[in-house]
A and B are shown apart, each in its own frame.
Chain A
Amino acid sequence: MKRATRLFLLLGLACQPNSETSSSTSRSVLPMVALDNSVAYVDSSSGSTFLLDPADPALKPRILPTGKSPLAAVKRKGANQLLVLTHGDQGSASTAPEPARLVLIDPASGAAQASYDLPGRYDQLAQSDDGVFAVLTYGSASSGASGSMLYNPNDLEVVRLDGKQPPLASRPIRSLGSVPIGVRFSPRTTLFGQPRTLAVVSAVNYVTLLDLDNAQHTEITVPLVPDGKQTVTPAQILFDMTGLVVYVRADGSNDLFQISLAQSTPADSSSNDFRVSLSLIGSGSAPSDMGMFGTGDKMRIAVTAPGAQQLVILDPKTGNATPVPAGAQVNRILLFQGPSPKSSEIQDRAMLAGVGTGATVLVFADLQNIETAQGLAIESWSLPAPISDITPLPGNLALLTHQYGYGGAAFSIVNLADRTIEPIGSSGALDDVTVETAAPSRLWGTDGANRMEYLDLAGNLQGREVILDQTIVSITPLASKSGDGKRHLVLEMDDPMNVGYLTVLDADQPDRKGARSAYGFLLTDYLERGQP
């Protein structure tokens, strides 16, 4: 009996599962990306992209390899494509390194349309509004950003996504002691006889201009604070491509920076065919927002100066500043063209508001002759509650999101032409509010549990609800119809295990009866996939 016990003990030891089977990897999934008519998830651990078509009856995703350690996934602007930036793998003594990559995935073909091996392990991705250019930068000067012990945080990569050659241009930009904190792109326009897109790379105390169509040309660095005694951080950039001017508003400065472009003869093949000059326009105290209106000689810049409760109108040609009392602490400006209750003439007008200031006043300004009319061009309207956000909507409408806790309205719909304010009540705090700005404009929200509420912002503002089975985390209406002829609404549901949990509804006729869910779709083909 004792021998038998020993025998089974030995057999038991022989049959112990290998310890390697219990090894595990920490797992992360990048936030869902909404494409035109499908959604994409990128699993950082396995380096796989899951493309899910809501029209698929089985809701089975297609899985594409995207490279090791994806860092960011975004929709390519102007195209129904996915851009995935990967960190790659630095390798080890036993494994080969894998370069960082920018992968362009087309859901229609279900394959990677292009993959660009990058010379650096960038972690920030910015793209032009037309989706032709992407600029990759490092997010910080710490080595953790790149994973490299030594690297130049002012190195950046310009990627052409339209297929034209060369697709990549890697270059360091001149540093005046700082690193890039953001990239803005000009609208694509013909500049000095050539279609171009300019990029303005922001850094503390300076900006850098890049001609993306001639990425081999030397960059132009524009110091904003020549004496270095002041610290200014670029916060907003406007492009006047007709007047060949770039305007920079910076936190820490009372002036607007006007960067004018003028044609020049390039000295060599690496020089630009234009030069820049910097001038400053005084704009009152601490400008918080700005917008351009008018054309030609009548082009003006409207700037909000909340400290002085003013709207300041700047004439960039002369540098004249005309302060107009706003009567309230306004810090946001929403320009629009339309009639007013007093005039049916379509003119440049503005709505001004104090976002986050606690102000309960909305200010309208008729901008056409405001420099002479002054206070006569200003009208104030009271609001039911302070504002926390403004969302422009089509049809000269704006949605005001009110700060919670003041009772009454949660939102207000402002008709900019009529200057009417329609409050939208709510019985409680809404979680994850989604505003669909394209027609049909809808407001979607959840109650933090399994109830979804929505209303047509251009309709009768009557809310409707759909009750689902689990807690809703996010609501994403897709822009285009899928293969089944329906435009879908994709709801991310509470998913503690991170295995993928979506519910799909008809976005135009949301109804529980037509809802379908997919739970665990990130496990699809798990047994047959390669090891992460």
Chain B
Amino acid sequence: MTTIRHAFLILSTAAFVPALPAAADSPPEPAAQAAIPAAIEPEPPSRSWEPFRFSLSAEVQTAWMLQDDARRLWGKRSLAGAGLSLAYDAIDFGGKTTLGLDLSWLSTTASTTNSLDLTQKTSTQVFDLGLSLRYEVFRWLSPYARVAGGMGWTSLSMGSSGLDLHDRVLLYQGSAGAGLLVRSPSVRIGHTRRWPSLAIVGRVEGGYIMGNATSFSLKSSLNGSNQDPIPLEPVSVGQAARRFPYLRITIGVGF
């Protein structure tokens, strides 16, 4: 928790403080306008708070496993995942409320020596489609609520290489959460309007994920090289619940 608060302080105080003298809607000086030839496009302001439609972010996510079966699979308290997300502000309701869509990919890997003294590796790939409603409190700060649904797969392997047992199962999940979006002013990276303005965007989001319980039947490739191997029965190691609170932090660029 201390770490999270620390991260938020960095986001809110160091990177995104509104300390800009120029505003996007400030009229240009008449003298300067007259001096510019008509054929030459006026140079846009270098920094502004103009809204961005898209954002591309890297994200990390941590979660807290509440059930024993899930803890056996992903660890007792948390798991670390990383991924990418692309967000799009679909509808501007005028004023300060925006409906956004986002598509995200999250990859999670947990590797440990389990209580059976076996090397255990669990990895998850999830693709989520999210819908968020955001309200701009300040130009740099917008709380939002988000629901998402997605699917992917989880793979589990136990044991050392060559002797290991493994399985991969489909998963689907839904989540609901709320968070804060913070942004910097947009900075135009070129001298004409054809160049986009870029802003640094960060999100801190907490919520709850509910998904299908993952049930694994581990198989081995012990006899994989034999042409006619003796049938090996799969081993059901049981199922693990996917219901847990999460904390998601993203940072990226808006354009």
Contact = CB atoms under 8 A, between A and B. Distances in A.
Interface stretch (A9-17, A187-195, A233-241, A379-387): A9-17
Interface in A295-309: none
B235 A520 contact: yes
Interface stretch (A92-100, A129-137, A205-213, A524-532): A524-532
Interface in B68-86: 68-69, 71-73, 75-81
Interface residues on A, range: 35 or more
Contacts of B220: 519-520
Interface stretch (B19-27, B39-47, B236-244): B236-244
B33 interface: no
Given A496-B163, A520-B165, A470 B223 contact: yes
Interface string B135-172: 00000000000000000000000111001010000000
A386 B94 CA distance: 102
Contacts of A24: 113-115, 117
Nearest to B69: A527
A515 B232 CA distance: 10
Contact of A527 (B72, B159, B163, B249): B72
14 contacts: A8-B60, A8-B251, A15-B62, A21-B112, A470-B222, A499-B116, A512-B230, A516-B231, A517-B231, A517-B232, A520-B159, A523-B218, A523-B235, A524-B236
Interface of B: 3-4, 6-7, 10-11, 14-15, 60-62, 68-69, 71-73, 75-81, 110, 112-118, 158-160, 163, 165, 200, 216, 218, 220, 222-223, 226, 229-233, 235-240, 247, 249, 251
Secondary structure call for the B interface: mixed
A58 interface: yes
A494 to B, nearest CB: 10
A396 to B, nearest CB: 38
Interface string A498-523: 01000100000000100111111111
A32 interface: no
A58 B238 contact: no
A25 B79 CA distance: 21
Closest 10 CB pairs of A and B: A15-B80, A21-B75, A528-B238, A527-B238, A18-B77, A14-B3, A24-B113, A520-B235, A527-B69, A15-B62
A527 B237 contact: yes
B116 A7 contact: no
A6 interface: yes
A22 B60 contact: no
Contacts of A368: none
A26 B216 contact: no
Interface of A: 3-4, 6-8, 10-18, 20-27, 45, 58-60, 468-470, 496-497, 499, 503, 512, 515-532
B240 A469 contact: no
Nearest to A516: B231
Given A15-B62, A24-B117, A526 B238 contact: yes
B10 to A, nearest CB: 6
Contacts of A21: 71, 75-77, 110, 112
Given A7-B251, A520-B235, A523-B158, A18 B76 contact: yes
B117 A26 contact: yes
B14 A3 contact: yes
Contacts of B159: 497, 499, 520
Given A7-B11, A525-B236, A17 B3 contact: no
A16 B176 CA distance: 24
A526 B158 CA distance: 11
Given A15-B60, A24-B113, A470-B223, 10 more contacts: A7-B7, A11-B60, A13-B3, A18-B78, A45-B115, A469-B222, A499-B159, A515-B230, A519-B232, A520-B165
Contacts of B75: 17-18, 20-21
Contacts of A531: 68, 115
Contacts of A18: 75-78
Nearest to B214: A527
Contacts of A496: 163
Contact of B230 (A20, A58, A503): A503
